[in-house]
Structure 1
């Protein structure tokens, strides 16, 4: 540290350095030590940026270069359609077909220039032509596939250009607007052949490619991050982890706000159709009537009641069995009076059967402070970010204190699938009140486990034990299924409190009281809440749900387990050759009863190759037995796997087979797989050849797992951005399928 000196009558006085001098000295020292490394990294980043730029300019804009020499043919004078006052052609529900004959020319592409100054929509266009190989229009037959319908957005210019693969000269050409969900009239500026594609630099595509190349460079097998051991190099490793997590938080936030139709927040430039015109930010309702349950419960609680204010219709109160959906639908048709769907109905009132903690955490305080409904998506985002931070901290704790040979590269290589393949991104994709309790349960669980882990080596354990148990206990008020993670207390604390008999000491009894007290307090609160609503300490109200089946008579049936196990774990993904490749998986069953099933995209053991390491659990645990005397890691892995299977099957029995339920159990299997990989890494740390092979294999397994999870995030689904704003989603498709 540098300082200043001053001569005084009393001698030389040393002055403390200024903040600026300290910063300057630190920077100089840092540059002196890391100058070479920083220059090397800067060169690599610059080269990667140049490669991404070259790809954007010369590859992704290949149509600009190939079409530059085309001879454009304008067909406007051949169009026999009415025009509006501005001169645009009018396609109507009666006249929406264009046909051009005797063209006798080579056709490389068609530009269908729909007017952008009209309501945005995606228009399915069927194109047919005759050429040297076809004297008549051809279509799909038993043995061939014809020209697929083209999706053209009225507001996305690249989609208006369609490349054709013709044989020789085209004689006749037919363009027809097809599909049922078309809003007529459609304004058409014109049609041209062999049009010149404009050059289009897509900044989002450039950033995405740059990020992927950078990711590939950082995790290449010879990367320096595999030589930075997190125990031996705490500063470097923590800096790398913080940097990676910051990127993950930013990506998660960006993805949530990308699905703007489900966010419920409006500004002058975001969701501006719902902006109130005065506030900097305002909230608005999304998702329909039954999506406002938490907000309605907050309003009711503010008035001192636990049932919703909305009064059920009289016909519902008069029904002999109000939980029969078919009977409810018939009564609703007869009376014309609607009812709230997917809420608990009991004793003439509507209740919310979902966990109450999110209401107390977000909705009630927000309503009391602002008088407005809390935007659910923001709650999902907050808890998703807390989950990422908690899972990272928990994994770091395991790596630093149970595995001495984990490098920064191996840590991040396993942290990424643990965070992004466990199902939370699907909850962020659909940030509704269905997702919020699951997300809260996961976030509380990882932070509870982290606090428990901290307590094991802490000098004063009580605070950490109490905080950890409080988090774990609050899971009961969010997603009760996730309470099975509390069973991890047995492998974590058994040796300390039972084997070593710490529980027999005075301090041990106090610590155990801190461990158990939060469960007692939370249980008392939840039981009181249940009793006040339904007259039972243990009745959460799920059986009174007005849903697609009668929950009061659902019961447990072993026949539902086999199709659920196959769907949740073993079903391969359904793939196509068109981005984003993933399609909903087929579902068939021989169960001769009602199965509750929504769209799913494959089982986790088939779609997440990183989990294949679980097949070698027994052998890997044998390695661990030779590494350490304790059986803590062994017990944790066994509890995680057993709990994951139990939760998946309970979900299927009690509720059904739904994609968002994957988040209930996927984290457990991924956490077990990560710990097993840590064990293997520890065993092979001093065997260079085998360790390099392990890294290469791990890169492939993680890469495929993350790629699947990323594609799942982009797969079009009902209610998501792709369904509500298909014309905007088309822009994403055209950015990827650039050769179209």
Structure 2
């Protein structure tokens, strides 16, 4: 009855939604069938020529189904006197052979080139292409020739090739098969659905969160579920870093008995947390592995060059990127992930906890907490936030803050950062709940506990605790609530978790290194001597440029984003890994920040309290501080963007809320700003997603290049 009554009351809306769904499905189907498969239609009239009989290679197989062997000695195929048009080339590799991605160099002579041509100072020759023996679509290579082709040369190049390679045949002007790619179809459906939902005239912008709390909460929850599903899918894509095996996932590491089992990934260096859990189970705080005697005898064990020379002489390896102190190895990363995941898992199962699952769990907690926190601000500090504006800003807040890169590499490096972010957003949410609750003490206790546990994950993220000043200054200081019995109790609830957890962490540090404030990072056996790194003003300018201002580097090949170049005038050692541009240049949603002063004036003139203005100022100041501290303490690394990006994005979201609050809903200015905001969000999310698919050492593209090629073929449908 309830469903029937609801349908009758909302018949027009439901009919409109049904029509939109039909249009989206039809549009996606048409795009997949006719646009993304245009190679099928363009090659339908080709006159296919089988060149297999002209192959001068060793033959295997049968007379009816011959196969040809490409070997380390004989891996060049050449055809002469073809005298025909060549529109495309098909290299038909045997699908049953071991999968690999082959670099294929193609050269030809035609009416514009009477000799084979290659790249010169002023021209670019035929680029080397990748053909996967596992991906059929990659076997079809479109060629741009001029007139009749006379000679054709095909060579397998590259050093990392597993010979022999079995080739079933070579064809020119082959008919490209029709390929209805389900993944691409679903992605297209999703993009079209987003365009429909967030178009400027969508009714979602007329559904206000305060006025329709139930409907908005249902849609927000549904959005979060979809986001979590997409993030989990992306993390599980990089199966080489997951460490979980089932009969259908990571089958090669499945034990053949369990429904699911864990296994070690990432090498010895990646097991630090697991090894610490084993040590803690035995009542000790250092790792069980004994450092080699030569390391213990060194005058300066933190000099990497000296360590490497000693290792060459003795042949005894040492553990890299662990803290070394007083003859023992220690883990300098925050201890909270061990206590939360690894130690309980080891005590129950006797196995190592899979780090990637911890990263995923922390990511889910972050998305939930981030959405709840944003909802809290939208409902209780602003009156005119629509569901459309909320979702439009929630998406970049979640996807553009560096979390996706942590999911790309779900290692023990990413786990403390991800968990620190999760604790931070939940801590802020609990604080916000306490500010409006009749019984705030439990909320304050929970919030402060979350906030201080950050110190045991990623100490840099303690900068979020500075938000306590704008959130509680007016209540406890200006109104002198602190000096009342109730206020004193509430303040004690805010402070107590900090004191207790800080005491525990200080004891932990003292027990290991003899200092309550030393977390051990300066004892790290890494690429530079952390005990002598110190503070240098010369590092600040390059770091600020790389973290904030570096423009993205792009190419015309998927995933289009490339590692950004890095040059510096700092005449010392700079710790630098691959990065992809500064957040202010690459995330257009942050282009609202230069207008912060003018927007904050609007808020201050509108409200007698300055809580939101204070929050924004602290977020921006803390973000710059954390980024520069990261550069001073450790260097310039892509995963460190997650330490501060959320702060800037959160500030941008609050600024957008303020602007929205001060504009008439039907004004031309607001409509224009919404259109601009949609474009800025779309570009920011697109950049963040593309970075996820840039091939990098150790990721899916490096370990399974033959499977990564399928992603490329899905995106570059025109090749």
Query: TM-score, structure 2 length as denominator?
Result: 0.99
In 2, the alpha carbon distance for the partners of 1:534 and 1:92 equals 57
In 1, the alpha carbon distance for the partners of 2:369 and 2:605 equals 30
Matching of residue 196 in structure 1 with residue 175 in structure 2 = yes
Aligned to 1:550: 529
Alpha-carbon deviation of 1:686?
4.3
Correspondent of 1:525 among 504, 517, 522: 504
Aligned to 1:568: 547
Deviations 1:493-532 (CA, angstroms, capped at 9, x unpaired)? 1111111111110000000000000000000110111111
Aligned to 2:649: 670
In 2, the alpha carbon distance for the partners of 1:617 and 1:65 equals 53
Deviations 1:80-137 (CA, angstroms, capped at 9, x unpaired)? 1112356421111111111100101111111011112222111011111111111111
Correspondent of 2:210 among 231, 236, 247: 231
SS at match of 1:84: strand
Matching of residue 697 in structure 1 with residue 676 in structure 2 = yes
Aligned to 1:653: 632
Aligned to 1:386: 365
Deviations 1:175-205 (CA, angstroms, capped at 9, x unpaired)? 0111121111111111011111111111011
Correspondent of 1:83 among 59, 78, 81: 59
SS at match of 2:90: strand
Matching of residue 65 in structure 1 with residue 30 in structure 2 = no
Deviations 1:135-161 (CA, angstroms, capped at 9, x unpaired)? 111111111111101100001000000
Kept in 2, the 8 Å contact 1:61–1:199? The answer is yes
In 1, the alpha carbon distance for the partners of 2:504 and 2:11 equals 58
In 2, the alpha carbon distance for the partners of 1:189 and 1:711 equals 35
- 5+ residue gaps in structure 1? 1-24
Matching of residue 346 in structure 1 with residue 342 in structure 2 = no
Kept in 2, the 8 Å contact 1:379–1:436? The answer is yes
Aligned to 1:46: 22
Q: How does 1:213-612 map to 2 (within 5 A)?
A: 213-612=192-591
Deviations 1:691-740 (CA, angstroms, capped at 9, x unpaired)? 10110010011111001001011111111101111110100100111111
SS at match of 2:171: strand
Matching of residue 713 in structure 1 with residue 692 in structure 2 = yes
Aligned to 1:4: none
Aligned to 1:138: 117
Kept in 2, the 8 Å contact 1:153–1:159? The answer is yes
In 2, the alpha carbon distance for the partners of 1:328 and 1:116 equals 47
SS at match of 2:10: helix
In 1, the alpha carbon distance for the partners of 2:394 and 2:410 equals 23
Alpha-carbon deviation of 1:685?
3.2
In 2, the alpha carbon distance for the partners of 1:297 and 1:428 equals 23
Alpha-carbon deviation of 1:473?
0.5
Aligned to 1:15: none
Kept in 2, the 8 Å contact 1:128–1:137? The answer is yes
Correspondent of 1:156 among 126, 131, 135: 135
In 1, the alpha carbon distance for the partners of 2:373 and 2:324 equals 40
Matching of residue 35 in structure 1 with residue 11 in structure 2 = yes
Aligned to 1:16: none
Deviations 1:240-292 (CA, angstroms, capped at 9, x unpaired)? 21111111111111111111111111111111011111111011111111100
Deviations 1:544-599 (CA, angstroms, capped at 9, x unpaired)? 10000000000010000000000000000000011110000000011111000000
Aligned to 1:619: 598
In 2, the alpha carbon distance for the partners of 1:668 and 1:385 equals 19
SS at match of 1:395: helix
SS at match of 1:88: strand
Alpha-carbon deviation of 1:29?
2.1
Alpha-carbon deviation of 1:687?
5.2
In 2, the alpha carbon distance for the partners of 1:50 and 1:141 equals 47
Aligned to 2:88: 109
Matching of residue 727 in structure 1 with residue 706 in structure 2 = yes
Deviations 1:40-83 (CA, angstroms, capped at 9, x unpaired)? 11111111011101111111111111112211111111111112
Residue correspondences, number: 716
Which deviates the most, 464-473 or 64-73?
64-73
Which deviates the most, 115-124 or 674-683?
115-124
Kept in 2, the 8 Å contact 1:465–1:515? The answer is yes
Which deviates the most, 276-285 or 178-187?
178-187
In 1, the alpha carbon distance for the partners of 2:296 and 2:459 equals 30
- 5+ residue gaps in structure 2? none
In 2, the alpha carbon distance for the partners of 1:429 and 1:246 equals 19
- Which aligned segments of 4 or more residues in structure 1 are displaced greater than 6 angstroms? none
